Chain A
Amino acid sequence: MITDEPSSDTSPAEAFFARLEAEPQPLLGGAHGTLRFDVTHEKTTTSWYVNIDHGDVSVSRSSAAADVSVTLDEALFDDVVTGRKNSVSAALRGELRIEGSPQLLNLFQRLFPGPPGGRST
């Protein structure tokens, strides 16, 4: 579990996962399973292990085996969790390495925000 309070030096990824944990996610109401994001920065990898139980999300720093794992660069991940880049087109560009259940990843992608400044209608 992430226990740190979000602060000014919180990374976009930390802030994103903290928000998911804070309350149930109806967008994932029908989903259960585990995902792992292996976020690489130069030679280091930070692993986020996400457990989804019908809308309840818990996140830990673990490299345990998951139903689906996604390896991607930190700069891209920061852009995805803040809506500046779209994860589906990034996958088509070959910027994600995906192993395991694509269904669960498709569902999880619903949680990535849209681009900043989008017009609601």
Chain B
Amino acid sequence: MSDGLVKILDGNTFVVSDDRGDIEASMTDPTGLFSFDTRFLSRWVLTVNGQRLNALSTDDLQYFEARFFLVAGTGTVYIDAKLSVIRQRAVGDGFFETLTLLNHDQEPVDVTIRIEAACDFADLFEVKDALEKKGKYFTNVEAGQLTLGYERDTFRRETTIMASEPARIDENGLTFAATVEPNGRWRTEIRVVTAFLGVGGARRTTKYGSEHRLARPNMERDLERWIADAPKLQCDWESLEDTYQRSLVDLAALRFSPMSASGRSLPAAGLPWFMTMFGRDSIFTSLQALPFASELAATTLRELGERQGSRIDDFRDEDPGRILHEMRYGEMTAFEERPHSPYFGSADATPLYVVLLDEYERWTGDTKLVRELEFEARAALNWIDEHANLQGNGYIAYKRRNEETGLENQCWKDSWDSISYANGELPGFPRATCELQGYAYDAKMRGARLARLVWKDPAFADALEHDAAALKRRFNRDFWIEDDEYFALALDEDGRQVDALASNNGHLLWSGIVDKSKARAVVRHLMGPRLFSGWGVRTLAEGERRFNPIGYHVGTVWPFDNSFIAWGLRRYGFKEEAAVIAAGILEAATFFDGRLPEAFGGYERSQTRYPVEYPTSCSPQAWSTGTPLLLLRTMLGLEPVGDHLVVDPALPQQIGRVELLDIPGRWGSVDAFGRGRVDTQARRRTRSRSR
């Protein structure tokens, strides 16, 4: 990996170490063993005869497993390679580590192997913000195991370390004394277990059970099954096949199983900071993955529904019917120094929840789940009208009530300067960004379909459709900038247009709120030189006062954003334009070995020739991982219609022949075939001539 760190993970448990497998974390960097937003090991250093080891090579075997080939000695010139060490590590409720020493000499050798262990039990938020701890630490050495612990009032977290071979254990680690025969080997298995403890020391059970001290989960088989269950892609564009494989494996890695989900998973948002349930990220990723792994959507809908807001709570920005933004499990959340138990400050997750429920039914025909979640879906629809209408004009708007630790921008562009006028000024609150109105429109239309089809409530369906039509009329009047022919980014607190040109226009196409007569003008902007970089659509148009090609939400290109824009282009019949965007993003992916970053620079493609990764972006990130999947869907024109899957391909030329086999859904399993006919390069050239 480019940063020299080795990362392995399973859901929200992950280990980040150096290329020797060692961990020497400071308070401010995200290395260590983490689980449920808490660091459970901040020091884990292996020595042999008092010496640190050198890495000969490191294999990332799977996302949950790595192997380090090491030799003793830190000399830069000469390494005594008569003794080598293989360190193999797999995540699972902490981690399992197998140490194997190989003696390559003709003489037996006595060795002292030592593992130093320590932990600061930092909350991920503390690592991010470099904050001080308020509780106290303890250490227990007993019956062949070392326990590191942290306690603050009733809050207690522990890390227990045990080994299969006899060890001398002290408060700072484990020491093994071994004799390795000529050409022989010595081996021990070490297990590191994380625990949080409740009243009276009751242990929260770990996933794999404590009775089998060294039992391992069978993650290998699980991954094989996951890949086998997904549709198979074959095409002439080899790098697309690689990107597709990478996406499937990364998506498997990002699966997170909340304690209440009985082993089912939903997509967490990204490594390392966002390995938890997010309303927006989990929903968008589930939408992207629907044709490939619809069970992610089912779990997302269930888990978010279960935790839907039910009361007014200003600290958590909670309202009845609101879908959560982010759930956290660490110390700062526990002591209400952060509001994430869960935090609800998102204005889009709630309408998107209804959108996902409907799209899920269209693919799977699972009306049972739609019936089960009727209350939640109705409450979400009700939230739009009852709790989000902060400007009193019928639009969704947001303004945080938790002014200390809540989020200012509650749309997907959630950084402080993402919503601006063309002249760079920032509007006041409440803000009604345009894409939120699109999501609301779509939620009402889709809610109406479900009401008619599943809930058998035609009156409610009629009312929703009536509301949606009125919203669409108003929106096309109030947000449309007549002179420049695009939709304003937002309405400010006085209901005036926030007039910057931004990628949000693409999400409007996706939602269907755009009048047909306005679509062509919107597409002209999306594909025009101010927004389209040659790789993809920029978050903010060149020429706006705050535009910066490496500004987080003010000029970079977000793969996820583009995948929904492509979907929107298809919705309005702009197939070839959708293919141009798909080609640009998928070509960019080849520069990142098939793993699209969260965002990359919005520089003109002809200027840099390769996409410049945004400096501190999160990787793998769920909705970037889902992007190639949604792009495949849009390029192949996959659309469920009744009990059938319609295939209507518009593919970039370089794909050649493509087949996606065994697409699961209510139709059973269907194959899609296509041939690349869209000359995306020529279309890009036309665009640059129009500058």
Q: Which residue of A lies closest to B308 (CB)?
A: A110
| B-side contacts of A93, CB under 8 Å | 153-155, 334-335
Q: Quick check: is B34 within 8 A (CB to CB) of the other chain?
A: no
Nearest chain B residue, comparing its CB with the CB of A104: B260
Distance to closest chain B CB from A91 (angstroms): 8
Whether B260 lies near A89 (C-beta < 8 A) is no
**Closest Cβ neighbor of B329 among chain A residues:** A92
**Once the chains bind, are B156 and A89 in contact (CB under 8 Å)?**
no
Taken residue by residue from 75 to 107, chain A's Cβ proximity to chain B (1 for < 8 Å, 0 otherwise) reads as: 000000001001011011111111000110011
B107 at the interface (CB under 8 A from A): no
Known: A30-B372, A30-B375, A102-B259. Is A118-B196 also a contact (CB below 8 A)?
A: no
**Given known A-B contacts A88-B341, A89-B336, A96-B199, A118 and B314 have beta carbons under 8 A apart:** yes
Identify which of A83, A92, A93, A95 gathers the most chain B CB atoms within 10 Å of its CB: A92
Contacts of A95 in B (CB 8 A): 154, 198-199
In the assembled complex, A6 has its CB within 8 A of some CB on chain B = no
**Does A121 lie within 8 Å of B154, measured CB to CB?**
no
B115 interface residue per 8 A CB criterion: no
Annotate B138-155 by CB proximity to A: 1 below 8 A, 0 otherwise: 000000000000000111
For the complex, give the distance between the alpha carbons of A112 and B312 in Å.
Answer: 11
Question: Which chain A residue lies CB-closest to B390?
Answer: A121
CB within 8 Å: A-B pair count: 90
Also in contact, A72 and B199, with CB within 8 A (given A92-B329, A115-B314): yes
Chain B interface main SS type: loop
Which residues of A, 35-86, contact B by the 8 Å Cβ criterion? 71-72, 83, 86
A111 touches B333 (CB 8 A): no
B306 nearest in chain A by CB position:
A106
Within 8 Å by CB of B333, from A83, A89, A114, A119, lies A89
The interface residues of chain A lying within 8 Å CB-to-CB of B314 are 115, 118-119
Within the complex, what minimum Cβ distance (angstroms) separates A89 from chain B? 4
Known: A26-B375, A96-B199. A114 touches B260 (CB 8 A): no
Whether B154 pairs with A94 at a CB distance below 8 angstroms is yes
B311 at the interface (CB under 8 A from A): yes
Closest CB of chain B to A40's CB: distance in Å? 9
Structural contact, B310 and A110, CB atoms closer than 8 A: yes
Chain A proximity of B477: nearest CB distance (Å): 25
- Give chain B residues whose Cβ lies under 8 Å from the Cβ of A103: 260, 262, 306
Q: Report B-chain residues with C-beta under 8 Å of the C-beta of A71.
A: 199
Q: Is B524 interfacial (CB-CB < 8 Å)?
A: no
- B305, closest chain A residue (CB): A30
A86 lies within 8 A of B341 (CB): yes
Contact of B196 (CB < 8 Å), options: A94, A110, A111: A94
Residues of A within 8 A of B399 (CB): 121
Alpha-carbon distance between A96 and B341 when the two chains are bound, in angstroms: 15
B residues 182-216 with Cβ under 8 Å of A? 196-200, 202
Evaluate contact between B387 and A92: CB separation under 8 angstroms: no
B336 and A86 form a contact (CB under 8 A): yes
Contact at A119–B401, with CB atoms within 8 Å?
Answer: yes
Pair B311/A113 contact, Cβ less than 8 Å: yes
Q: How far is the CB of A87 from chain B (nearest CB, A)?
A: 9
* Assembly CA distance A68 to B314 (angstroms): 29
Chain A positions within 8 Å of B229 at CB level: none
The answer to whether B198 and A97 touch across the interface, beta carbons within 8 angstroms, is yes
How long is the Cα–Cα vector from A91 to B341 in the complex, in angstroms?
10
Residue-wise, chain B 297-316 has the 8 Å CB interface mask toward A (1 for contact) of: 00000000011101111111
Give the chain A neighbours of B333 by CB distance below 8 A. 89, 92
Interface residues in B315-350 (C-beta closer than 8 Å to A): 315-316, 318-319, 329-330, 333-336, 341-342
Q: Tell whether A107 pairs with B306 under 8 Å between CB atoms, given A94-B154, A121-B319, A121-B387.
A: yes
> Within 8 Å CB of B335, what residues of A?
89, 93
Tell which of B155, B316, B319 touches A94, judged by Cβ atoms closer than 8 Å.
Answer: B155
Give 1 or 0 for each of B388-401: 1 = CB within 8 Å of chain A CB: 00100000000101
Question: Is A7 an interface residue, CB under 8 A from the partner?
Answer: no
Q: Is A120 an interface residue (CB 8 A)?
A: yes
A106 & B307 in contact (Cβ 8 Å cutoff): yes
Which residue of chain B has the shortest Cβ distance to A107 in the bound complex?
Answer: B306
Would you give the shortest CB distance from B428 to chain A, in whole angstroms?
16
B199 contacts A114, C-beta separation under 8 Å: no
Taken together as a complex, chains A and B put the C-alpha atoms of A107 and B262 apart, in Å, by 15
A41–B386 alpha-carbon span in the complex (Å): 41
Nearest CB on B from A84, distance (A): 12
Residues of chain A with a CB closer than 8 A to B313's CB: 86, 114-115, 118
- Cα A73 to Cα B282 in complex, Å, equals 35
Chain B residues within 8 Å of A86, by CB: 313, 316, 336, 341
Q: Provide the residues of chain B in CB contact with A107, threshold 8 Å.
A: 306
A27 to B309, alpha carbons, bound, how many Å?
A: 10
User: Most A CB atoms within 10 A — which of B200, B306, B335, B373?
Assistant: B306
Kindly report which residue of chain B lies nearest to residue A117, judged by CB atoms: B314
Q: Which residues of A contact B259 (CB under 8 A)?
A: 102
A88 to B313 CA separation, bound complex (whole angstroms):
13
> How far does the alpha carbon of A121 sit from the alpha carbon of B317 in the complex, in Å?
11
A106–B306 CA distance with the chains assembled, in angstroms = 6
If A92-B334, A102-B260 touch, whether A114 touches B318 (CB-CB below 8 Å) is yes
Is B334 in contact with A98, judged by CB distance below 8 angstroms? no
What's the minimum C-beta distance from B471 to chain A, rounded to whole angstroms?
A: 19
Contacts A29-B375, A83-B311, A115-B315 known; A92 to B341 CB distance under 8 Å?
yes
Rounded to whole angstroms, the CA-CA distance of A40 and B310 in the bound complex is 27
Q: How far is the CB of A93 from chain B (nearest CB, A)?
A: 4
CA distance A72 to B342 in the complex (A): 21
Task: Give every chain A residue within 8 A of B308 (Cβ-Cβ).
Answer: 110
Q: How far is the CA of A121 from the CA of B153 in the complex (A)?
A: 36
- Roughly how many angstroms separate A103 CA and B316 CA in the complex, as a whole number? 21
**Shortest distance between the CB of A71 and any CB in chain B (Å):** 6
Identify the 7 closest CB pairs spanning chains A and B, nearest first: A114-B311, A92-B334, A118-B312, A110-B310, A102-B260, A97-B199, A114-B313
14 contacts between A and B (CB under 8 A): A71-B199, A86-B316, A86-B341, A92-B334, A93-B155, A94-B156, A95-B154, A103-B306, A110-B310, A113-B311, A118-B311, A119-B401, A120-B387, A121-B401
| 20 additional A-B residue pairs with CB within 8 Å, beyond A92-B341, A97-B200, A118-B312 | A26-B375, A30-B374, A30-B376, A86-B341, A89-B333, A92-B330, A93-B153, A93-B155, A94-B197, A94-B199, A95-B154, A97-B202, A98-B198, A103-B306, A106-B260, A114-B311, A115-B313, A118-B314, A119-B401, A121-B399
